[in-house]
Amino acid sequence: MNTIQKTLVILAVLLLAVAIYISTTKQVESDESVPKELLKKAVAVGKNQSNYIYSYREISDGYATEYKLLQKNGERMIEVRNPISAKHVYFLKDDTILCVEFMNKESCSSVKNNTRADLNNYLLSLQSKFFNDAGIEDENARLNYFMEHGYLKISPRIINKTVNGKECSEISYTMDFTNMTVSEANIYGIAPGAPKHFEWTLCVDNSSGLSYSKHFNYSFQGREHSWDFVLLGADWNPKEDIVAPENLTERLAYDILLEEMEWQGEFRTCYQKTGDEKDKCFSDIALQLKMKSVCELAGGRRDQCLVRLVPLTADDSICDIIADPSFKEDCYIELAGRKKDSSYCSMITNMTKQEFCMNISVQINQTAIPNPAAVNCERKGYSYEIRSNEAGQYGVCIYEGKECDEWALYREECCLTNEDCSSGICENGVCAQQNGTNRTTGE
């Protein structure tokens, strides 16, 4: 974690939430003492609590992660879920166990005697999620200093809201470290190149101090950034116990974690893109990881992404969640071809597609009409190859070093030349859209 990231972590201790605001709001004017007390009450949540379940969702520039913290009888468990993986870490009295689930791989390993710096840093970052009395006191002192020296200016305005069925008082404040001295910045871990101006809101329960929603935003290197938090639950007398997993492996969980972290980095870059480039980024990762949940993030490419997953996974539940009727029929075609089961073709109303479906669902030892995707490839003068992977055989069209899956070429999901596109424009292997034209339906 670099210095700037550490700065953001320090500043983010106060926040934990964003939510959909429901029902009516009522604005109340007060002096600054009331919102200041609410802020201090929010910071004090978790102090002197030895047993609890505390769960929340963080959203950083669109990237969502859910956390569940369970502390009981001197032991701890944290669950971390993001769109591509699930992790559990058990901080037990006599052991520390890491469990990772990613890409249909799942394993638990003891990491008590770990000497790897990257893993130690990761475990420390998870430990810091739990409430800590000393940390709460430090944060309270930091807030007082910022307010006394004008680095934190709180608005006297309070908005009474109902957030997810719970009443709370929303306060807002600004943190501005522009005029902070070098020595002060050094003390509070604020690097010279770090963001200096933050706008915050949080909605606090007047009695418990729980923050049901929090948010801050800032600008950095010409881009706008935001951080949000949704409180999912808090229980200071949990009945749930911490149960250590069994059947531990030697270090497989760590190996899976390394792979997951690498992919998580790739996944996060998609959020930095916009428009179709962003949708394509999510779609590409979904296909590589074979995860339909990632297709849900692919925007305008969602249904296309799901269709392309079918030959890789043979998951017949995918067709049910496809919205576009044309792509839904394409999904049944892919299933019929993958499973060699013509019964899927009965779900198709387009007669041309149904004929294709019946063709590719025929068993290899049966006579069939020519594969239209292969015919299309060869008619255009492209080279044609049959390849295979763990999902089975598939055809590839090749031209001047560029490749397209035969059916992707046929459906104009991939292109090698302008002639492959009804719009007449092929850019970087993708047909330029033209009024939503879909070649396979003729619409």
- Going by pLDDT thresholds of 50, 70 and 90, the confidence category of residue 422 is confident
Which structure tokens are listed for 314? 């043979």
Above 60 in pLDDT, residue 20?
A: no
- Going by pLDDT thresholds of 50, 70 and 90, the confidence category of residue 363 is low
> DSSP string spanning 26-73?
EEEE--THHHHHHHHHHHTTTTT--SEEEEEEEEETTEEEEEEEEEET
- Going by pLDDT thresholds of 50, 70 and 90, the confidence category of residue 333 is very high
Above 90 in pLDDT, residue 380?
A: no
How far is the C-alpha of 85 from the C-alpha of 257, rounded, in Å?
9
Above 70 in pLDDT, residue 21?
A: no
Region 359-385 average pLDDT: 73
How far is the C-alpha of 105 from the C-alpha of 31, rounded, in Å?
56
pLDDT in the model for residue 253: 94
Unique residue bearing structure tokens 């609890």? 52
Give 3-state DSSP helix, strand, coil % of the chain, rounded to 5.
35, 30, 35
What is the percent of the chain with per-residue pLDDT over 90, rounded to a whole number? 64
- Going by pLDDT thresholds of 50, 70 and 90, the confidence category of residue 406 is confident
C-beta of residue 328 within 8 angstroms of C-beta of residue 306: no
Tally the residues of the chain.
443
State phi, psi for 224 to the nearest 5 degrees. -90, 140
Return the CATH number of 3-235, one of 2.40.128, 2.50.20, 1.10.1740, 2.60.120: 2.50.20
Above 70 in pLDDT, residue 441?
A: no
C-beta of residue 41 within 8 angstroms of C-beta of residue 30: no
Above 70 in pLDDT, residue 151?
A: yes
Above 50 in pLDDT, residue 64?
A: yes
How far is the C-alpha of 69 from the C-alpha of 314, rounded, in Å?
36
Comparing 10 with 370, the larger pLDDT belongs to 370
pLDDT in the model for residue 410: 84
C-beta of residue 64 within 8 angstroms of C-beta of residue 57: yes
Comparing 21 with 217, the larger pLDDT belongs to 217
pLDDT in the model for residue 284: 92
- Going by pLDDT thresholds of 50, 70 and 90, the confidence category of residue 366 is very low
- Going by pLDDT thresholds of 50, 70 and 90, the confidence category of residue 29 is low
Region 397-411 average pLDDT: 88
Give 183-201 pLDDT, tens digit per residue.
999 999 999 889 999 999 9
Q: Can you say whether the dihedral through the CA atoms of 340, 391, 87, 218 is positive or negative?
A: negative
pLDDT in the model for residue 401: 87
Above 80 in pLDDT, residue 22?
A: no
pLDDT in the model for residue 356: 86
Region 415-425 average pLDDT: 89
How far is the C-alpha of 131 from the C-alpha of 113, rounded, in Å?
25
How far is the C-alpha of 250 from the C-alpha of 262, rounded, in Å?
21
Burial 188-213 (b: 16+ CB within 10 A, else e): bebeeebbbebebbbbbbeeebbbbb
Region 329-346 average pLDDT: 91
Question: Helix H segments across 88-219?
Answer: 117-127, 133-148, 182-187
- Going by pLDDT thresholds of 50, 70 and 90, the confidence category of residue 27 is low
pLDDT in the model for residue 436: 42
Q: How far is CA 357 from CA 269, 326, 386, 431, in A?
A: 37, 13, 19, 24
Other Cβ atoms closer than 10 A to 121: 11
Give 296-326 pLDDT, tens digit per residue.
999 999 999 999 999 888 898 999 999 999 9
Q: What is the CA radius of gyration of the chain?
A: 27
Region 142-154 average pLDDT: 95
Q: Of the ranges 37-51, 254-268, 372-386, 404-418, which one carries the lowest mean pLDDT score? A: 372-386
pLDDT in the model for residue 28: 57
How far is the C-alpha of 271 from the C-alpha of 227, rounded, in Å?
13
Region 223-230 average pLDDT: 93
- Going by pLDDT thresholds of 50, 70 and 90, the confidence category of residue 442 is very low
Q: Is 91 left (phi over 0), alpha (psi -120 to 50) or beta?
A: beta
- Going by pLDDT thresholds of 50, 70 and 90, the confidence category of residue 385 is confident
Q: How confident is the prediction for the chain on average, in pLDDT?
A: 87
Comparing 206 with 22, the larger pLDDT belongs to 206
CATH 2.50.20 segments of the chain? 3-235
pLDDT in the model for residue 379: 82
Helices and strands, number each (H, E), in the chain: 13, 18
State phi, psi for 31 to the nearest 5 degrees. -80, 170
Collapsing DSSP to helix, strand or coil, 246 comes out as: coil
Other Cβ atoms closer than 10 A to 347: 16
